[in-house]
Amino acid sequence: MLDQSHSRYRQTYADWKADPAAFWGAAAKDIDWVVPPAAVFDPAHGVYGRWFTGGVCNTCYNAVDRHVSAGRGGQAALIYDSPVTGTKRTLTYADLLAEVRVLGAVLRDLGVEKGDRVVIYMPMVPEAVVAMLACARIGAVHSVVFGGFAAKELAARIDDARPKAVLAASCGLEPGRIVAYKPLLDLAISMAEHKPDACLVLQRPELAADLVDGRDHDWAERRAAGAAKGYGVDCALVGATDPLYVLYTSGTTGKPKGVMRDTGGHLVALRWSMENLYGIKPGEVFWCASDIGWVVGHSYIVYAPLLMGCTSVMYEGKPVGTPDAGAFWRVIEEHKVVALFTAPTALRAIKKEDPEGTLLAGRDLSSFRTLFLAGERADPDTIHWAEDRLKVPVVDHWWQTETGWAIAANPVGLGALPIKPGSPTVPMPGYDVQVVDEAGKPVPAGTMGSIVIKLPLPPACLPTLWQQDQRFREAYLDTFPGYYNTSDAGFIDADGYIFVMGRTDDIINVAGHRLSTGGMEEVLASHPDVAECAVIGVKDALKGEVPCGFVVLKAGERRAPDVIEKELVALVRERIGPVAAFKLAFTVNRLPKTRSGKILRGTMKKIADAESWTAPATIDDPVALEEIAAVLKARGLGG
């Protein structure tokens, strides 16, 4: 057994398990409530119970107003650092308050009321954070859509969320290219059945967008007019169980799942995590180098650091190429960052460009205490590389869009436990994590199985999918009754350390981005020349995994396969977006299948990953697998 005596983790976890209501009730005291909750947890409410029922509060108040009232108005709330535009800007808590008051009023003017949805389609600019907080302020429900998604994906989210308004920027900036957001938004609205009443468009100097008469409004003009008239809204009274936001994530089909986050539980769990998991104090500088389009960005660029009264760094750039692989070390030094939270893929990108860490030379990283990693499995090589060069603990932690905060982590604030590379360490209070076999029976320590969480899920986790209780039950609760199915597979060792090894469904993780291979198959299958197809995730040294599609063309197809393959690559980019990173499409004569017709994706993946493989006994024709190996080999893949 490892020595864990110096950490308060074991005692804290035991305290939670002994009395969850007392534990979360105490944590809720760090939040300002207008009306304290009548119950910490009400099992009779919602699909599996709801947290802090009867409570009334406001997320924006807790993130902004209360810090200004407490004398933090002059402290930096947000530091915007944008190597792609060559600009930096700091917003104090007082500035942020002024901005959210005005934008809240502008939203009201555009007809947005409490409970209405607002889609935010914006890059990493401070106005995007102001937009999220302004929605929270008036009780509107935001739904942020990542800029790397195509118009069709945006349209699907507009149709599901049915927003009153869309807040967008004219463009985003990727290294070497300007991504024109507004034409994508216009196309998405034309594709969607639901039409928002208004769009508020932030014109960026790099590219101005055309505005549609009667529907589109210029952000800066509306803001200036509002400020001149002294506009400003106070915080709306929001129920603890009312939604704060809906964030769409890949499901097992092309139709994304709308993960709903409620107000009270989210406030309580995120505030608890900043102190006890991340070990951060008010006034310190926290940097999460993700994007506000992902859950990690929602929780740790925007909400948690602000709830804690910290300074949050908002970085519009990449780990490499903006301008070089030393960019992260520059930001840490310049803004005196105490903790960085990023994805392992970002470190792999840095390691590839600067394997010896020469760009660290001369940097003063004395403020820097901890590196947190999440989004995909942190491979031990990357962890060791970072530890050796940065000389700080490298903490892997595991979570999902659905949970909103870490399921398993090494709780630095409670006293870090010994690190086991390859493991995100131990379950956080609130999560009773178990590993079960296909029948739902717990398996012994060290045995692989499905990772499940005993209900109820802790505060901040999704109470349901947006207006789809039944889909929520089917997707997460029905497989193992009484448990939430994470769809991750792994094991728990004899020390209680969790190891997350991969997904049990069709989700793949590409550069820390979660994508559905099923969704990509739907796109490939829609090509007129494709008879059938299969998409798998294959190992990639930089991105962890990349998608790889195999297609069988319709009989009689006379066009050259390489032309069709190029069309397929372009089609996925057009329908799902560049973020899918779909670049590998291979024509094959047939797909390997079992006698009952099931495509052998698992074995195909082993072949592509150059792992040892055997043809399953149920295979229809073993030669089909050899054909796949030959096609991959011809393209330099599969060993």
Backbone angles phi, psi at 575, to 5 degrees: -90, -40
Does 424 bind ligand COA (CB under 6 A)? Our answer is: no
The distance of closest approach from Cβ of residue 546 to ligand AMP in the complex, given in angstroms and rounded to an integer, is 15
Q: Pick the closer one to ligand AMP by CB: 376 or 540.
A: 376
Judged by CB under 6 A, the residue of 98, 325, 346, 607 near ligand COA is 346
Q: For the chain, how many helices (H) and strands (E)?
A: 20, 31
Residues 385-404, mask of contacts with ligand COA (x by CB under 6 A): --------------------
The enclosing H or E element of 274 equals helix 263-276
Site for ligand AMP in 555-594 (CB under 6 A): none
Cβ proximity to ligand COA: between 40 and 155 the closer is 155
Backbone angles phi, psi at 362, to 5 degrees: 80, -5
Written as one string, the DSSP assignment of 290-338 is S-TTSHHHIIIIIIHHHHTT-EEEEE-S-SSSSS-TTHHHHHHHHHTEE
Residue 179 sits in the site that holds ligand COA (CB under 6 A): yes
Tell whether residue 377 is a contact of ligand AMP (CB under 6 A). yes
Figure out which of the listed residues 239, 258, 459, 512 binds ligand COA, where binding follows CB under 6 A.
512
Residue choice 119, 268, 313, 343 for contact with ligand COA (CB under 6 A): 343
Which of 117, 397, 543, 601 touches ligand AMP by CB under 6 A? Answer: 397
- Residue 514 within binding range of ligand AMP, rule CB under 6 A: yes
Specify the residue, 308 or 500, whose C-beta has the smaller distance to ligand AMP.
500
The DSSP result for 119-156, as a single string, is EEE--S-HHHHHHHHHHHHHT-EEEE--TTS-HHHHHH
Contact segment (CB under 6 A) with ligand AMP among 53-61, 75-83, 276-284, 397-405 equals 397-405
Cβ distance to ligand COA smaller for residue 174 or 609: 174
The C-alpha atoms of residue 209 and residue 325 are separated, in whole angstroms, by: 32
Of 274, 504, 314, 295, nearest to 400 by C-alpha is 295
Tokens read off for 11: 């005692």
Partners of 128 in beta bridges: none
Alpha helices in 57-125 (DSSP H): 59-60, 66-67, 93-109
Per DSSP, the residues of 512-551 read: TEEEEHHHHHHHHHTSTTEEEEEEEEEEETTTEEEEEEEE
- 385 touches, from ligand AMP, ligand COA, none (C-beta below 5 to 8 Å by class): none
Q: Which helix (H) or strand (E) holds 483?
A: strand 483-492
- Is 207 among the residues that bind ligand COA (CB under 6 A)? no
Identify residues 305-324 at the interface with ligand AMP (CB under 6 A).
Answer: none
Output the six-digit token pair for 582: 């779909």
Distance of closest approach, residue 25 Cβ to ligand AMP, in angstroms: 28
Which residues bind to ligand COA, rule: CB under 6 A?
147-148, 172, 174, 179, 289-291, 294, 296, 318-320, 342-343, 345-346, 349, 374-375, 511-512, 543, 578-579, 581
Which residues bind to ligand AMP, rule: CB under 6 A?
249, 295, 374-378, 396-401, 424, 488, 500, 503, 509, 514
